[in-house]
Chains A and B, each alone.
Chain A
Amino acid sequence: MSEAAILTEGLSKSFGPQTAVSNLNLQIQPGAVYGFLGRNGAGKTTTMRMLLGLVRPTKGRMRVLGLDPWLEMELMRILQRVAFVPQRKQLYGWATPAELVRMNKAYFPRWSDEAAGGLAQRLEIPMKTAFKKLSIGNQSKVALLLALAQGAEVLILDEPTAGLDPLMVDEILRTLIEDHVSQGRTIFVSSHHLGEVEQICDWVGILEEGRLLLEARLEEVRQEYRLVIVSGENLPDAPSADVVSATTDGRFRRYVLAREADGFAAGLRSQGASILEISPIGLRELFLHLVRKEAPCTPGNAGAKAAPVSSFS
């Protein structure tokens, strides 16, 4: 197996008494497109900032392209090979996008003027208007252009499509797939738009209150994850290690299973429960089941430990 593009081991970050990230284990292989999901304040942005040396971890270890972001010289080598689009896409208000492009290209030896020109055209960016005079959507596009034309091996994108209209979102996703995914570049993207994540990602990680609740291949979620709705008395919280989450909705109990749903249902049936439904589960439902406050994850859930990554593509 090749060296992980992004690796964290027991990574934690606290701001005073508040824990932002807790014992996070990630191993993202080169070429993977990893969707990092979570509610606001779940710790996604803090994790990304730690990977880029903007925030110091309280505990744990991390590597980006095999290099340690907390060693200054190694960080410089990381930053030459990693592109970042921050959540707050704030650039110099006085500068036009054309000036920002000129300024940015001087930092990156693999910068592509051709890609920058193409993106400016496709995303309809007014290149001669001062950044502060651009709409929020256009400001986001400029930040994306600067990152995508950088020729980076790893893209770290923190809500890259926030503020963009559906047409532009589609354009960005197509660009990511055509120019980056197809070239085997690694993308680590956080987003609240689960549809976008489903469109481009092959892996998802769901974070809640700084803890990784689940890490799975998206294909696996589509093919094997099932929602089992059960009715009965004294139903167990987590009768199997395959249960990702269990929630109560009135008289019904909903289980999300990572695998072996039929066997699990048979087991419950033998205890006197009625199985009302066994159905495939989408990413959106899975996400909602995992992060709903009234439905805490059970100790047996698959996300308590990072999933094995040997099957990364």
Chain B
Amino acid sequence: MYAWKCWRESRARFFFLLIMFTVTALLFTLEPGLEVQNGWWHFDRSEYIHNPLPTAHVVFSMILSVLWCSGFLSAVFLGATAPGSEIEPGTIEYLWTRPRTRTSVTWTHWAVCVAEMAIVAVVPLYLAAALLGTLTRYWDFPYLFIAPWMMVIVGLPVLGLTTLMTALRRSASGGLIYTSGVVLVYAILRQIIIVPLHLNPPTLFTGPLVWLVSNNQLPYDASAFPWGSLWRAVFLAAAFPLAAEYLLKRAEV
């Protein structure tokens, strides 16, 4: 029943994100065929039929250049409904006097968010792939099919971080603001290291996504896949919610 409550509380954000990313992905998919004639929009399929592979590749690159951040955005907005966000409004007294452990509450919320994040990532890209396949009659888009899962994997540490921040700040807005702050500070520090010092440290956990976005030339270089970054993402995806769970178990309200 707590899973239902999590869904009920986050579904508005979920539908907003899903619609926004789906519309964006479909618009980018149709973009090569759209043209203005006599002041009206017309759709011409010839580009898709005559140059299927380059068109598919251009569409894929355009979609990824915008939707690469969908995992992060979903993680922050959906994660802000974590159990810690109930402390400030006072509903936590109700929640913590139900016979459910704080561990189960934390991980149920996490699981619901992961499911929502997966849908938000998969649906737009798979719909775009289906539309692209129909238009080009070419169906070999392996990277378009793995892209949403990469987005989810690199989004998980941010989901965990938001869960932790809501537990620390005891409110949804506090969690959201502090997560954004931490990400921003990390990005600025990274730029300080990269730009003046001319160093190029490996990405903490966004490597798979960077690899996916920067591999926009065929053939793809699978051997350069950043496994270290992937494992760090998996580690942080587990470590942040565990820290949040620890905090919530010790929290007094």
Residues of A within 8 A of B (CB): 49, 52-56, 72, 76-77, 79-80, 82, 84, 86, 88, 90-92, 94-95, 99, 102-104, 106-108
Cβ distance B103 to chain A, nearest Cβ, rounded Å: 8
Give the nearest-CB partner of A156 in chain B.
Answer: B97
Cβ distance A157 to chain B, nearest Cβ, rounded Å: 12
Give CA–CA (A182, B5) in the complex, Å: 35
Provide the residues of chain A in CB contact with B90, threshold 8 Å.
Answer: 88, 90
- Contact at B252–A84, with CB atoms within 8 Å? no
Label chain B's interface by main secondary structure: loop
Residues of B within 8 A of A (CB): 1, 4-5, 8-9, 89-91, 93-94, 96-102, 249, 252-253
- Contact at B99–A91, with CB atoms within 8 Å? no
- Contact at B99–A54, with CB atoms within 8 Å? no
- Contact at B5–A103, with CB atoms within 8 Å? yes
- Contact at B91–A91, with CB atoms within 8 Å? yes
Provide the residues of chain B in CB contact with A90, threshold 8 Å.
Answer: 89-91, 93-94
Using A76-B99, A79-B99 as known contacts, say yes or no to A92 and B9 having CB atoms under 8 A apart: yes
- Contact at A86–B93, with CB atoms within 8 Å? yes
Give CA–CA (A182, B94) in the complex, Å: 27
- Contact at A54–B9, with CB atoms within 8 Å? no
Give CA–CA (A54, B100) in the complex, Å: 13
Using A54-B93, A79-B99, A88-B93 as known contacts, say yes or no to A106 and B9 having CB atoms under 8 A apart: no
- Contact at B91–A92, with CB atoms within 8 Å? yes
Give CA–CA (A84, B89) in the complex, Å: 18
Interface centre among B90, B98, B102 (most CB of A within 10 A): B98
Using A90-B91, A91-B91, A103-B4 as known contacts, say yes or no to A52 and B97 having CB atoms under 8 A apart: yes
- Contact at B93–A107, with CB atoms within 8 Å? no
Give CA–CA (A99, B94) in the complex, Å: 14
- Contact at B101–A94, with CB atoms within 8 Å? no
Using A54-B253, A76-B99 as known contacts, say yes or no to A91 and B94 having CB atoms under 8 A apart: yes
Provide the residues of chain A in CB contact with B98, threshold 8 Å.
Answer: 79, 104, 107
Give CA–CA (A108, B97) in the complex, Å: 11
Give CA–CA (A107, B99) in the complex, Å: 7
Give CA–CA (A52, B94) in the complex, Å: 11
Using A52-B97, A76-B101 as known contacts, say yes or no to A107 and B1 having CB atoms under 8 A apart: yes
Provide the residues of chain B in CB contact with A94, threshold 8 Å.
Answer: 8-9
Provide the residues of chain B in CB contact with A49, threshold 8 Å.
Answer: 253
- Contact at B91–A79, with CB atoms within 8 Å? no
Give CA–CA (A94, B90) in the complex, Å: 14
Provide the residues of chain B in CB contact with A79, threshold 8 Å.
Answer: 97-99
**18 A-B pairs (CB sep. < 8 Å):** A52-B97, A53-B96, A54-B252, A72-B102, A72-B249, A76-B99, A82-B97, A84-B93, A86-B94, A88-B93, A90-B89, A90-B90, A92-B91, A92-B94, A94-B9, A95-B8, A103-B4, A108-B99
